[in-house]
Copies of this chain bind each other. A is one copy, B any other.
Amino acid sequence: MRALVTGGAGFIGSHLVDRLLAQGHEVVVFDNLSSGRTEFLAQHAGNPRLSILHADLLDLGAITRAIVGVDAVWHLAANPDIRYGMEHTDWDLKQNAVATYNVLEAMRKAGCKRIAFASTSTIYGERVAVPTPEDAAPVLPISLYGASKLAGEAYVSAFVGTFGLQAWIFRFANIIGPRGTHGVIVDFVEKLKKDRTRLEVLGDGRQSKSYLMVDELVDAMLLVVDRAKEPINVYNLGSSDALEVRRIAELVLDRTGQRGARIAYTGGARGWAGDVPRMLLDTTAVNRLGWKAKRTSEEAVREAVEAIVAERW
């Protein structure tokens, strides 16, 4: 099978590419390298089944040409910085919503029928039950990132309904692990590198979220695409429990040997405007298909902290 992975040089994308190549597939990576890095794919140098296109999804011609002859698209490219959208309010719209439309339109033109799309728990907003099942309502995102991903889902769904594509939509919890380029653990490590005496934590530290290691996420995505056969298949992917931010701060201080640093909370229930302070996904649907997270959120965070400290400290 020939697969195209948008964002394939990024954090999650590069782990997926590792696995697709190990399974014997041909892989085309399409990445603008805004947060992805070709080093993340250096282990495949010389592999004739991997090609890397340095191009942007906002270039409809480029993605259309790249998709010709592709059997399935894994659309993982996105703006990974949720908070950035507060100051640059059109960023997520372009990088996530319009880019997703371009991928779908390119598929339609090229006759490619299968798409797996990386969506997010943040589409749900904060008026839903926690743990949150896939059919939770009302779906009212409170961040521009969440809105742009819900827009992407809507377009995936419409292309399935109108043009006969088949789709797998994955709503991710917080995904962490080696090669992480953003998120709370990376933030904490980078802050400590600048000032070892003090670690600023956004909010009151009581924000509680679910964390999943990237290797387990890749397992889950491959299993769902293999086993879920509807025209459109929507699955939450996350761990079975949540962890408070203050505990992550402690684990980072422990691992970096900075137990003496002062943790300074900025206060308030949420880390930033648009942050959903409590996130835990109901993963019953994917559990029934045959996948369940092996690690707790704390176990995942411990391992991810170890990997990221090794990479960055």
Q: Which residues of A contact B (CB under 8 A)?
A: 86, 89-90, 93, 97-98, 101, 105, 108, 123, 125-126, 134-144, 146-148, 150-151, 154-155, 157-163, 232, 234, 273-274
Contact = CB atoms under 8 A, between A and B. Distances in A.
A98 B126 CA distance: 24
B140 A232 contact: yes
Contacts of A86: 162
Contacts of A125: 157, 161
A105 B87 CA distance: 11
18 contacts: A93-B97, A93-B98, A93-B101, A93-B155, A97-B151, A125-B157, A126-B161, A138-B234, A140-B232, A140-B234, A142-B157, A144-B159, A147-B155, A147-B157, A150-B150, A151-B154, A151-B155, A163-B273
A155 B160 contact: no
Nearest to A232: B140
Oligomeric state, in copies: 2
A257 to B, nearest CB: 37
Nearest to A108: B89
Contact of A101 (B90, B140, B141, B273): B90
A147 B154 contact: yes
B161 A150 contact: no
A143 to B, nearest CB: 6
Q: Which are the 7 A-B pairs with shortest beta-carbon distances? A: A142-B161, A151-B151, A147-B158, A135-B137, A147-B154, A150-B154, A162-B274
Contact of A146 (B135, B142, B144, B158): B158
Nearest to A138: B135
A158 B274 contact: yes
Contacts of A90: 101, 105
Contacts of A143: 158, 161-162
A159 B146 CA distance: 11
Nearest to A160: B142
Contact of A273 (B97, B155, B162, B234): B162
Nearest to A92: B158
Contacts of A157: 125, 140-142, 147
Contacts of A160: 142
A86 B108 CA distance: 11
Nearest to A152: B151
Given A89-B105, A89-B108, A93-B101, A162 B144 contact: yes
A148 to B, nearest CB: 8
A155 B139 CA distance: 12
Q: Which of A125, A126, A155 has the most CB of B within 10 A?
A: A155
Residue among A90, A125, A147 facing the most chain B CB atoms (10 A cut-off): A147
